[in-house]
Amino acid sequence: MTSTPPPHLTPRKTPRQARATVTLDAIFEATIQVLVSDGPRRLTTTRVAERAGVSVGTMYQYFPHKQALFYALNERYLDALAGKVEGACLGQHGAPIDQMVAALVSTYWQAKTERIEVTHALYRSVAEIDNEPLIDAFAQRVDAATAIMFASASDAAFADLPTVVLTLLNSIFGTVRSVFERDLPFAEADAVMRQLMLMCTAYLQAVRVSDRSAPAAA
């Protein structure tokens, strides 16, 4: 994911060899584990280094402080999340809008619930950093993929597709975040996601300007 982090959050170096990539993977996984167990305020780069099995010096080669580590961790997470949404959108080209909505909501929800404790921890960690560049880069990718998908819908067309996409994605992302912040039980959360699909589909039906599946007038 292309983003320009603030200078103080920029990693000192990036891995260029397979061994360095493995080390960085271990650091990220250790960061998640410490975030989950201790929270962002109690996390230190020393604790992460110990959990990852690397020296503090190695840790410092990549991240000068924990805010830079949080930024890199969230960048990695959002890059993977954007990739999943892009893949789901690509797979629905030419489908009806209700099928597109179901794929979009379910993909985003499944990605967020794959490791629920990680999602909670990352939501807490962003309070420590300026993550605006990350959000902008993520939004650009997801907005573009979603717009291309809905432009190909087999049963609808939209006069102002950018606004429709923006409204739809804000509704999905906001609802999912609220579910996590309220810490809803799985059954209630699943019910909300089903209602969200209905709501999004009804919205798209209301704002569409034509039905491509309808037969042409004689």
For residue 216, the Cα-to-chain-centroid distance in whole angstroms is: 40
Q: What is this structure's pTM?
A: 0.84
- Between residues 147 and 114, which one has the greater pLDDT? 147
**Average pLDDT of the residues of the chain:** 88
Residue 62 is predicted with a pLDDT of 87
User: Residue 77's closest CA among 28, 129, 7?
Assistant: 28
Distance between CA atoms of residues 13 and 215, nearest Å: 59
Query: Is residue 212, in this structure, part of any structural domain at all?
Result: no
Query: Buried b / exposed e across 145-166, counting CB within 10 Å, b at 16+?
Result: bbbebbeebebbebeeeeebbe
Query: Is residue 46, in this structure, part of any structural domain at all?
Result: yes
Residue type, 33: Q
Long-range CB pairs of 75-84 (<8 Å, 24+ gap) are 75/1, 75/3, 75/5, 75/134, 76/28, 77/118, 77/122, 78/1, 78/134, 78/135, 78/137, 78/138, 79/1, 79/138, 80/111, 81/108, 81/111, 81/138, 82/1, 82/138, 82/141, 82/142, 84/108, 84/111
Count of domains forming the chain? 1
pLDDT in tens, 94-134: 999 999 999 999 999 999 998 888 888 888 888 778 888 89
Query: Is residue 213, in this structure, part of any structural domain at all?
Result: no
Query: Is residue 1, in this structure, part of any structural domain at all?
Result: no
Question: Does residue 16 have a pLDDT over 80?
Answer: no
Query: Is residue 37, in this structure, part of any structural domain at all?
Result: yes
Query: Is residue 58, in this structure, part of any structural domain at all?
Result: yes
Least confident of 62-76, 114-128, 158-172, 184-198: 114-128
Q: What CATH number corresponds to the domain at position 191?
A: 1.10.357.10
Q: Which domain holds residue 159?
A: 7-207
135: helix, strand or coil: helix
Residue 218 is predicted with a pLDDT of 39
Residue 115 is predicted with a pLDDT of 86
Distance between CA atoms of residues 211 and 144, nearest Å: 22
Distance between CA atoms of residues 48 and 40, nearest Å: 11
Residue type, 24: L
Query: Is residue 156, in this structure, part of any structural domain at all?
Result: yes
User: Residue 88's closest CA among 79, 98, 97, 100?
Assistant: 100
Phi, psi of 55 (to 5 degrees): -75, 160
Structure confidence at residue 189 as a pLDDT band (50, 70, 90)? very high
User: Average of pLDDT values for 41-68?
Assistant: 91
